[in-house]
Structure 1
Amino acid sequence: MNAAYVFRVAFRLDPDGASADPDRFETTVEIPAVEPGEEGWLLFRDRLWRGEVGDAPSARRFLGERLGVEVVEVDFRELRTDRTYLEALETEIAADPDRFNADDVDEVLHKYLGSSIHVRE
């Protein structure tokens, strides 16, 4: 299984005893997706809504901690996944759709990821 949450982030450098010009940079960040059912697999539910970042300040802190910089802007791009991971994700969601306040797997995926799932082999 291979999957990652892809974000575009802008971050700022504020070095001690120095200056940077430019001091703002943009990059793409991939956060490996945790295997469905394992601790941390609900990143999509906890961070996203309709294919967008659900809570920008929280997402900036989340990504800033991983990058070690001050993230000033974040946009969700996609869940980049292989077919095996997507099937495992769907199976885990189907086991308890009430956890997501939804009727079925398709509703859950749309509710949190919108149309931002890209299957790649």
Structure 2
Amino acid sequence: MDAAYVFRVEFRLDPEDAAVDPERFETAMELPANEPDTDGWLFFRDRLWRGEIGDGAPFRRLASERLGAEVVAADFRELRTDREYLDALRSAIAADLDRFNAESVDEVVRKYLGSSIHVRAE
């Protein structure tokens, strides 16, 4: 199984002993998706809403820690996944729909990821 959350992030460099131009940069950042039913697998539920980052400030802090630079903007792009991971994710969601306050797996997927799922060949 292989999956990652992909974000577009802008980060800023502000070195004490140097000047940089430009001081802002844009890049893609991938965060590995934890396997369903393991610690951290609910990242999508806790961080995303309808394919957008739900609360930008905490996410920018998380991204800044991961990148080692101040992230000033971020946008969710996609859950990039293989079929095995997506099937396992859908099964884990189905096993506990009440957790998501939803009536179907499709509703949960739309509610949190929107249409931002990219299934890649294995």
Offset, 1:62: 1.1
Corresponding residue number in structure 2 for 1:28: 28
Mapping of 1:4-43 within 5 angstroms? 4-43=4-43
Q: Structure 1 CA distance, aligned partners of 2:38 and 2:44? A: 13
Amino acid in structure 1 at the alignment position of 2:23: D
Corresponding residue number in structure 2 for 1:68: 68
In the alignment, structure 2 segments of 5+ residues that lack a partner are none
* Superposed CA offset, 1:9-34 (max 9, x none): 00000111111111000000010110
Q: Structure 2 CA distance, aligned partners of 1:104 and 1:64? A: 35
Offset, 1:58: 1.1
Corresponding residue number in structure 2 for 1:97: 97
Mapping of 1:41-120 within 5 angstroms? 41-120=41-120
Q: Structure 1-normalised TM-score?
A: 0.98
In the alignment, structure 1 segments of 5+ residues that lack a partner are none
Q: Structure 1 CA distance, aligned partners of 2:88 and 2:63? A: 25
Q: Percent identity?
A: 69
Q: CA RMSD in A?
A: 0.6
Q: Structure 2 CA distance, aligned partners of 1:29 and 1:17? A: 27
Q: Which moved more, 1:6-15 or 1:56-65?
A: 56-65
